[in-house]
């Protein structure tokens, strides 16, 4: 991987993270855009991927989301300085329970949110598997963010510094969030969008390949099986 392709994340404490992206409410559907970024929310079941997306888009939180209520994707309009941006955020909508996620999401993604639950160590350990799974299908340098959700909870199994170190080692941005308490949700989406603009304005070739490449069309509908490839059978799930 070439050095100039590396995404330059600024590892500051959460409250110092700056972004200059504004979410547009009631966007004009015919508004032209400069970038359309596809982001995937990945991570184990029940870490709060759907909750984060719904919190960001609708400003609401429910304590129970059945996996059938999961959204497939949302389109969000944003603006930064002179650029109009659309984010297409894919949510795995319950498929992760079966450890099978359609690879078309991964192949054309410009960025990923790797979400774990700070109160569940296993979900953090599994981020390694999610990283290698997504890399198997999309080996380009893309914009990756690690997100430790449910930071409102008292019972914690993953501390901030451990996760930050993991993020740095794997060239990912990092946020702790709470969809429940609305902590750092706007910041995580705003900051990833800012990083997407910075990175892809310098790497147009990758942007175009991800946006228009045959990759997306060719691989439509193909399914990958996550656990067979990357995890040993533990007896807890088939």
Q: Which residues bind ligand GDP (CB under 6 A)?
A: 45-51, 63-65, 70, 149-150, 152-153, 178-180
**Of ligand GDP, Mg ion, none, which one sits near residue 22, judging by CB under 5 to 8 A according to partner kind?**
none
* Listed residue (110, 122, 115, 107) closest to 91, CA to CA: 115
The two beta strands, 143-149 and 111-117, are: parallel
Nearest approach, Cβ of residue 238 and ligand GDP (Å)? 18
Question: CB of residue 213 vs ligand GDP: minimum separation in angstroms?
Answer: 28
| Neighbour tally for 201: CB within 10 Å | 12
Tell me which residues in 45-64 interact with Mg ion (CB under 5 A): 49-50
Residues 6+ apart with CB under 8 A from 95: 101, 102
d(CA 23, CA 157): 33
Query: Is position 133 an interface residue for Mg ion (rule: CB under 5 A)?
Result: no
Give me the helix-helix angle, 185-202 and 49-58, nearest 10°: 90
Q: Which one, 140 or 150, has the nearer CB to ligand GDP?
A: 150
Q: Which residue has the tokens 């451990």?
A: 162
**Identity of the residue, 153 or 230, whose beta carbon is nearer to ligand GDP in the bound complex:** 153
> Chain-centre distance of CA 51, in angstroms?
13
Q: What is the largest CA-CA distance in the chain?
A: 53
Q: How far is the CB of 47 from ligand GDP (least distance, A)?
A: 4
Contact 67, 97 (CB under 8 A): yes
Minimum distance from residue 94 beta carbon to Mg ion (Å): 6
Residue 70 or 111: which CB sits closer to Mg ion? 70
Which of Mg ion, ligand GDP, none does residue 193 bind to, with CB < 5 to 8 Å depending on kind? none
Residue nearest to ligand GDP (CB): 48
Minimum CB distance to ligand GDP, residue 103 (Å) = 19
Task: Name the site residues for Mg ion (rule: CB under 5 A).
Answer: 49-50, 70
């Amino acid at each position: 991987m070439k050095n100039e392709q590396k995404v330059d994340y600024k590892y500051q404490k959460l409250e110092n993270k700056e972004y200059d992206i504004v979410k547009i409410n009631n966007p004009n559907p015919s508004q032209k855009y400069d970038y359309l970024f596809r982001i995937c929310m990945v991570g184990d079941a029940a870490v709060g991927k759907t909750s984060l997306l719904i919190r960001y888009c609708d400003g609401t939180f429910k304590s129970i989301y059945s996996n059938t209520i999961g959204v497939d994707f949302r389109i969000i309009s944003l603006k930064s300085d002179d650029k109009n941006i659309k984010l297409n955020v894919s949510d795995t909508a319950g498929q992760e329970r079966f450890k099978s996620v359609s690879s078309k999401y991964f192949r054309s993604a410009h960025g990923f949110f790797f979400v774990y639950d700070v109160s569940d160590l296993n979900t953090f350990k599994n981020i390694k598997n999610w990283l290698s799974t997504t890399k198997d299908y999309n080996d380009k340098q893309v914009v990756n963010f690690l997100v430790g959700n449910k930071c409102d909870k008292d019972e914690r199994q993953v501390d901030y510094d451990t996760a930050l170190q993991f993020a740095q080692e794997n060239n990912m941005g990092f946020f702790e969030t709470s969809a429940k308490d609305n902590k750092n949700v706007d910041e995580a989406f705003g900051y990833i969008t800012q990083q997407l603009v910075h990175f892809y304005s310098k790497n147009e070739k990758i942007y175009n390949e991800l946006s228009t490449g045959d990759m997306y069309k060719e691989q439509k509908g193909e399914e990958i099986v996550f656990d067979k490839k990357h995890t040993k059978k533990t007896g807890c799930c088939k």
